[in-house]
Amino acid sequence: MSPATASGGAQKDQDEIVGAAEGGKGTWRHAAFHVATTIATPAAYALSLGLLVCVILPASGVGWQQHCDPDCGQQQPQAVYKHYYATDHGAMTLQHFILLFGALELLLSQLPDIHSLRWVNATCTASTIGFAGTAIGVTIYDGYRINRNDVGYSLQGSTATKVFRGFNALGTIAFSFGDAMLPEIQSTVREPATTNMYKGVSTAYTLIVMSYWTLAFSGYWAFGSGVQPYILSSLTVPRWAIVMANIFAVVQITGCFQIYCRPTYAHFEERIQAKNMMHRAWLWRLMYTSAYMATITLVAAAMPFFGDFVSVCGAVGFTPLDFVLPALAFLKAGKLPKNLGLRRTVKALCCAGAVLFSVIGVLACIGAIRAIALDVKTYKFFHDM
């Protein structure tokens, strides 16, 4: 393929993506609003891991993140249920909540575009703040209550286990920083899109660092290397605050899940438009969203290993698309400094970054696959976590 052909194809794809995202243009605050929700929601559940890890699926990674989110989205209502019905002997399992959550997401999937989800994202943004504030407060409170002499910060296991856990952490770290290049969000931003998107992403990342990285450090300080991937699982009291945080969390994940579904839905809608089948668009939407949600719900119910899939998402999806390809695209664009020395330096840095993150992606993928393999040996399919 010639450079001209490649460039034209990329431009065509970008134009199609922009055209698929219907609705009005927004300001950089609109971008921050969406991006903060899509990054913060999954980050809430994995960042508190002892290694301070978590992340996202880019627009073209059609489906990996949805394999993660149903598991996490069900563990919060399940926790609330078990709190109030502890003597019910497990009448409702994690899989029941996965089915309920899948049904809710199928209903929201009938909304036509990202812009129509603004009320969902508004609620999610408020829940993000509520979750972060509640979880940080309860984590610090529990940290002071427990015996600090029992808290250890060293990793447990053999050398191989520690190494592979480190690899696994690389993927989840990539996951927490990977959503800055989501075209479906950028296409809703008012011109100049690049400037406004940069402001929006910067604002979103600032808020996330101030909230969830604070939660991550608090969790690691409070519980050491024994902290659970989902921080609320490590907390004990006060019970009412933990229940409230779980409710905030499930509201968060509801909106986040929809954002990650949209690139897949856009693909189906483009095919429907190409075949001139728009006269029954609602019926076709119901059919493909139902098939899609059924598949995702089945995978989530069968293998509810949220943390491991987050690492796979970061390794396979975010690392190449958010760290490797941007460096290569910058070189391809040819917008390099005219000064020869500076030009060579920029080229060297871009190439080094692409190579470094390629290696990180491979190592993270190895660690994540090993973790999933171990979990499959430990737990049966459709295990009630």
State the alpha helices, DSSP H only, in 209-335.
Answer: 214-223, 239-274, 281-302, 306-312, 325-333
DSSP letters, 114-167, are SGGGHHHHHHHHHHHHHHHHHHHHHHHHHHHHS-GGG---SPPS-HHHHHHHHH
Q: How many CB atoms within 10 Å of residue 202?
A: 15
Confidence at residue 13, expressed as pLDDT on a 0 to 100 scale: 42
Q: Which amino acid is at 381?
A: F
Helix (H) or strand (E) holding 9: helix 3-20
CB 125 within 8 A of CB 37: yes
Q: Which residues of 101-120 are buried (b: 16+ CB within 10 A; e: fewer)?
A: bbeebbebbebebbbebbeb
CB 211 within 8 A of CB 46: no
- Nearest Cα to Cα of residue 172 among 72, 99, 76, 296: 72
Confidence at residue 82, expressed as pLDDT on a 0 to 100 scale: 55
Using CB atoms within 10 Å of the CB of residue 3, give its burial: 0 to 12 exposed, 13 to 18 middle, 19+ buried.
Answer: exposed
Walk along the chain (385 residues) and give the pLDDT tens digit of each residue: 433 333 333 344 444 433 433 344 455 444 444 444 444 333 333 333 322 222 222 222 233 333 334 444 445 555 555 555 555 555 777 777 778 888 888 898 888 776 777 787 788 878 888 888 999 999 999 999 988 888 888 877 788 888 887 777 777 776 666 555 555 555 556 777 777 777 777 777 777 678 777 888 899 899 988 888 778 888 888 888 888 888 888 788 777 777 777 777 877 888 888 777 767 778 888 898 898 888 888 877 777 666 666 677 777 777 777 778 778 888 887 778 888 888 899 899 999 988 988 888 888 888 888 887 887 777 777 766 6
Confidence at residue 134, expressed as pLDDT on a 0 to 100 scale: 92
Confidence at residue 80, expressed as pLDDT on a 0 to 100 scale: 53
CB 381 within 8 A of CB 299: no
Confidence at residue 89, expressed as pLDDT on a 0 to 100 scale: 52
State the alpha helices, DSSP H only, in 146-234.
Answer: 159-176, 183-186, 193-208, 214-223
Q: Which amino acid is at 100?
A: L
324 CB-near residues (< 8 Å, 6+ apart): 353, 354, 357, 358, 361
Confidence at residue 349, expressed as pLDDT on a 0 to 100 scale: 92
Confidence at residue 78, expressed as pLDDT on a 0 to 100 scale: 53
Name the token pair of 25: 């243009």
Residue 125, CA atoms < 13 Å, CB-side half-sphere: 16
Confidence at residue 136, expressed as pLDDT on a 0 to 100 scale: 92
133 CB-near residues (< 8 Å, 6+ apart): 211
Rounded CA-CA distance 87/90 in Å is 8
Q: Is the peptide bond before 229 cis (omega within 30 degrees of 0)?
A: no
SS3 state at 29: helix
Q: What are residue 189's DSSP bridge partners? A: 26
Confidence at residue 334, expressed as pLDDT on a 0 to 100 scale: 76
pTM flag (> 0.85): no
Residue 198, CA atoms < 13 Å, CB-side half-sphere: 4
